[in-house]
Amino acid sequence: MSNAGNTDTSKGQVAALARRARGWLAVSVGCGAVSAACLVGQFVALAHIVDDTVFHARTLWAEHTLLMVFLVCLLGYVGTRFASDMAGTEAGLRIVASVRTALLRHIAKAGPVASLRLPAGQILSVLDDGVEALEPFFARYVPSAAMMVVLPLLILAVVCGVDGWSFVILACTGPLVPVCMVFVGYSAQKAMDRQWGHLSTLAGSFLDALRGLKTLRLFGRTAGSLERIGQLADAHRQATLSVMKIAFLTSASLEFFASLSIALVAVVFGSRLLAGTVDFRSAFLVLLLAPEYFAPLRNFSASYHARQNAMAALEQIATVQALPELAVALDARPAEHPTAHIEVEELVCEHLSAAYEANTVVLHDVNSTFARSQLSALSGVSGAGKSTLLSVLLGLLPPMAGRCYARDAKGQPLPRSALNVAYVPQRPQLVYGTIADNLCMGLTDVAFDTLCEAARIADALEFIEALPQGFLTLVGERGCCLSKGQVRRLALARALLRKPDVLVLDEPTADLDPDSARRITAAIRLCVAGRIVIVATHKADVLACADQILDIAHGRVSVRKKPEAKRAPHLNAGEVCPA
């Protein structure tokens, strides 16, 4: 995308975001404008009081009206500044919260298939630092940009009525600041973009290195990986330093213009004051106002890097927002009302084709039925398309052609949102917490008996009860302290607690020793009663337990029906299927 295109997109994004907190932003800008008027009023009153008491021998009591005006303006200034800052911060925080929620919703709609297109580290840094970068932009930059217009114009108007020379000096030097900002702005934006790029790569590499620490160590590549992360950190440091350099340069040039201008006003006024051609009141007022003329410009400059940072962050946010929403069906499922009462009889694929990219079709014209109380196994070599078919059945990947839908006992199609689907992935994730937390995950008011029953069916109860803390045993993010087979059985119990109509398992016995694999297979077989169970596997013992086997090869799916005599029986936990 061209730079102009980027700028237009960013402007559109900023306008759309500002609308989410326009009330608070309006209060912030409005209070800022009132505070500008109070400040000017306060200085006008002060100049009168000082001039009257020092040069015209008036008492303070005689000046009580002006003193009141001064105090009211002072209090008004403090109050409205405070209100303006608070309203700006509120607007910034609201926008950050709404962007983060919208991004999380979008990632949920994109689903795991689409989310894989971006490195996890990048998504994390966008959700964290990227979204946070918007807060100073709306809390400080937007109000200070409005103040930069209001206060200098107000001061110029007052100075214009007081002294022509000072008006000319301020009017000529003031606009130099925005011009200087525009100049510096272009290079600053590039530096910010570079900094963000380095940060995203660094976050991604760091996460990858943490995840793959075991492999790196075994291959003797730990030092190489550390060196690469060091180089990335160094590149990020240098990019940050160039951003800082530009920020210092901006404020130094601003200070220079501001000091020069104030000095000019002071010299010109001072010489005329000595010559007796101007009065003290005007000189004092203009000298009070001159620094305030540049103050909002200084504040604006200080918050300008917040703008550059936010623009760079908006680009990163747009990258995440550009992920296609593949998992539309998941979002439509009513979480509060699981549809156990709706009898899902079968899941049907009709002329279904699936692809990740339009020109690479993974599955062609699939026509299959997955019936209730049956275990269906998807078989095929690695890369044949088993997980792809599961993704379509789960609603994580929309069919490229054809359709996939559920039917009730009368053959009536059911909406996908009516399906209660549970999934046990190849590598189930456990979160840091107790075993009970991991099993319930998102469910509330789960009775202990229900928990035990799910664990029993998944053949997990025995090992859980053997642990000193039982269901209250703490397990780590990646199932620390548990074997792979135990993690799989926990994941199966977690899925069963959802009372799913459709249970989908991806390679449930991969990497397991024969005994663990047998226990998992038997547990799966126990789950079949009353629900549709679909397993992707190339393990013979799981296939032996299946009622229906679908062979996937070269993108085509064919049904391998087992002879009636060999139909798998219903087993109890721990029992083994006859091969």
Ligand X SMILES: Nc1ncnc2c1ncn2[C@@H]1O[C@H](COP(=O)(O)OP(=O)(O)OP(=O)(O)O)[C@@H](O)[C@H]1O
Residues within the interface to ligand X (CB under 6 A): 113, 116, 356, 362, 380, 382-388
Nearer to ligand X, 364 or 386 (CB): 386
Nearer to ligand X, 79 or 402 (CB): 402
With vertex at residue 566, the alpha carbon angle to CA 565 and CA 571, rounded to the nearest 5 degrees, is 115
| Rounded least distance, CB 550 to ligand X, Å | 12
Between the alpha carbon of residue 157 and those of residues 149, 154, 326, the distances in Å are 12, 5, 58
Centre a 10 Å sphere on the Cβ of residue 97 and count the other Cβ atoms it contains: 14
| CB of residue 324 to ligand X, shortest distance in Å | 12
| Rounded least distance, CB 106 to ligand X, Å | 18
In angstroms, give the least distance from the CB of 360 to ligand X.
Answer: 7
Nearer to ligand X, 161 or 383 (CB): 383
Nearer to ligand X among residue 510 and residue 544 (C-beta): 510
Q: In whole angstroms, how close is the CB of 507 to ligand X at the nearest point?
A: 6
Phi, psi of 452 (to 5 degrees): -65, -40
- CB of 311: closest distance to ligand X in angstroms? 31
Q: What 3-state class would DSSP assign to 60?
A: coil
Task: Give the number of C-alpha atoms closer than 13 A to the C-alpha of residue 297, restricted to the C-beta side.
Answer: 28
Nearer to ligand X, 307 or 488 (CB): 488
Closest to ligand X by CB, 387 or 509:
387
For ligand X, the closer CB: 386 or 519: 386
CA distances, 331 to each of 109, 202, 346 (Å): 6, 32, 22
List, in sequence order, every residue forming a beta bridge with 353; answer none if it has no partner.
401
The residue among 264 and 362 lying less far from ligand X, judged by its C-beta, is 362
Q: Shortest gap between Cβ of 355 and ligand X (angstroms)?
A: 8
DSSP secondary structure, 430-485, as one string: --SEEHHHHHHTT--S--HHHHHHHHHHTT-HHHHHHSTTGGG-EE-TT-TTS-HH
- 380 vs 508 by CB, closer to ligand X: 380
Provide the 10 A C-beta neighbour count for residue 553. 12
CA–CA distance, 81 with 37 (Å, rounded to integer): 11
Contacts of 9 (CB under 8 A, 6+ apart): 1, 318
**Cβ–Cβ < 8 Å for 300, 247:** no
Q: Report the nearest approach of ligand X to the CB of residue 510 (Å).
A: 8
Closest C-alpha among 13, 18, 301 to residue 185: 301
Torsion angle of the four alpha carbons 539, 545, 547, 552, in this order, in degrees rounded to the nearest 10? 0
For residue 436, what are the contacts with CB-CB under 8 A and spacing of at least 6?
Answer: 451, 471, 472
